[in-house]
Amino acid sequence: MNTKRIVLVLKVLLWLGALAPTVWMGAGAIFGWLGANPIEKLEHVSGMTALIALLATLVVTPVRRLTGWNPVIQLRRPMGLFAFYYVVLHFGVWMGLDLSLELSWITEDIAKRPYITVGFTGFLLLIPLALTSTKRSIRRLGKRWVKLHRLVYVAPALGVVHYYWLVKADVRIPLLMAAIYTALMLLRVPGWLKGRARRASVVERSLAKPVEGREPGNAMAVGAID
Ligand code: HEM
């Protein structure tokens, strides 16, 4: 199978997997299999799916580095957008069904319940990422896009803290999520160190051999160091 076909198959599988929880929740609401507390169930499924999807977006880069198979990067954007979709759904269930769109309860919850404050912050961070996920935004924002999209490392961390905080007794699953998040971040460290070393050597070379018409050290001014 050629690369295009493999990516297409992976994208189809991704769409099927990502939409399955929505179908399950919709069917559950229609056929009444969401249990005694359907709102809690919807919050549970949407929240867990959002967190898993956020962590899944962080898997792409280590997989690309370990396998050397670059086309896998094409799965990252749809994964991120699915994560955002589930966070919006999660937020919508909480706001619309749990709190009946009562503005005073919503603002009070966000202000007074720390796990809600943290979850809400994670949600807010994801909004600019979703809005600037197009190729046009990447071209328009350039280096600022790269900086902005580093928030993708913060949002899952807030999701994990939010989850850990709201669980009352058994914290094993939130701790497992925290361990997965930590491992995914640690896997990135060698790549970041390599990138830093590469940028430092570019600056060093520019200091040693100044380009005609340019002051030594100008590489910094032109943004060789991010
Ligand atoms: C990055 C964003 C977020 C992620 C990844 C996330 C994830 C989760 C997870 C994993 C759960 C636990 C599900 C369970 O086992 O029951 C959960 C529950 C919950 N989340 Fe979020 N969440 C996020 C944002 C929010 C926001 C913005 C709100 C509302 C402002 C919110 C409100 C809730 C509520 C009310 C629950 C259920 C709490 C309970 O069972 O008592 N979350 N969330």
Q: Residue 207: pLDDT band by 50, 70, 90 thresholds?
A: confident
* 8 Å CB contact between 185 and 153: yes
* 8 Å CB contact between 129 and 87: no
The CA angle 20-21-26, to the nearest 5 degrees, is: 100
State the average pLDDT for the chain: 91
Question: What are the backbone dihedrals phi and psi of residue 33, each rounded to the nearest 5 degrees, phi first?
Answer: -105, 25
Residue at 125: amino acid letter = L
- Segment 102-123, tens digit of pLDDT: 999 999 999 999 999 999 999 9
CA 166 from centre of chain: 20
Is 226 contained in some domain?
A: no
Is 218 contained in some domain?
A: no
Question: What are the backbone dihedrals phi and psi of residue 70, each rounded to the nearest 5 degrees, phi first?
Answer: -65, -30
Is 107 contained in some domain?
A: yes
Q: Residue 222: pLDDT band by 50, 70, 90 thresholds?
A: very low
Burial 26-46 (b: 16+ CB within 10 A, else e): eebeeeeebeeebeebbbebb
Q: Residue 204: pLDDT band by 50, 70, 90 thresholds?
A: confident
Domain span at residue 60 reads 3-209
The CA angle 40-46-47, to the nearest 5 degrees, is: 85
Is 47 contained in some domain?
A: yes
Is 219 contained in some domain?
A: no
- Tell me the best of 118, 124, 162, 171 to mutate to test the pocket of ligand 1, counting ligand atoms within 8 Å of each CB and taking the most: 162
Supply the DSSP symbol for 133.
-
Point out the ligand 1 atom lying closest to the alpha carbon of residue 50: 5
pLDDT given at position 215: 43
Ligand 1 neighbours by CB, cut-off 6 Å? 40, 43-44, 47-48, 50-51, 54, 87, 90-91, 94, 116, 119-120, 122-123, 155, 158-159, 162-163, 166
Q: How many CB atoms lie within 10 A of CB 216?
A: 11
What's the whole-model pTM score? Answer: 0.88
Is 11 contained in some domain?
A: yes
CA 219 from centre of chain: 32
pLDDT, average across residues 32-58: 97
- Tell me the best of 25, 37, 43 to mutate to test the pocket of ligand 1, counting ligand atoms within 8 Å of each CB and taking the most: 43
Distance 99 CA to ligand 1 centre (A): 14
Point out the ligand 1 atom lying closest to the alpha carbon of residue 158: 1
Is 151 contained in some domain?
A: yes
Distance 175 CA to ligand 1 centre (A): 15
Cα separation, 7 vs 215, whole angstroms: 47
Which residues have a Cβ under 8 Å from the Cβ of 152 and sit 6 or more positions away?
57, 58, 80, 129
Is 216 contained in some domain?
A: no
Q: In 93-188, which ranges are continuous DSSP H helix? A: 103-112, 114-131, 135-141, 143-148, 151-166, 172-186
Cα separation, 119 vs 22, whole angstroms: 20
User: How many domains does the structure of the chain reveal?
Assistant: 1
* 8 Å CB contact between 104 and 112: no
- Segment 159-178, tens digit of pLDDT: 999 999 999 899 999 999 99
* 8 Å CB contact between 78 and 179: no
Do you know the residue count of the chain? Answer: 226
What is the SS3 assignment for 202? Answer: helix
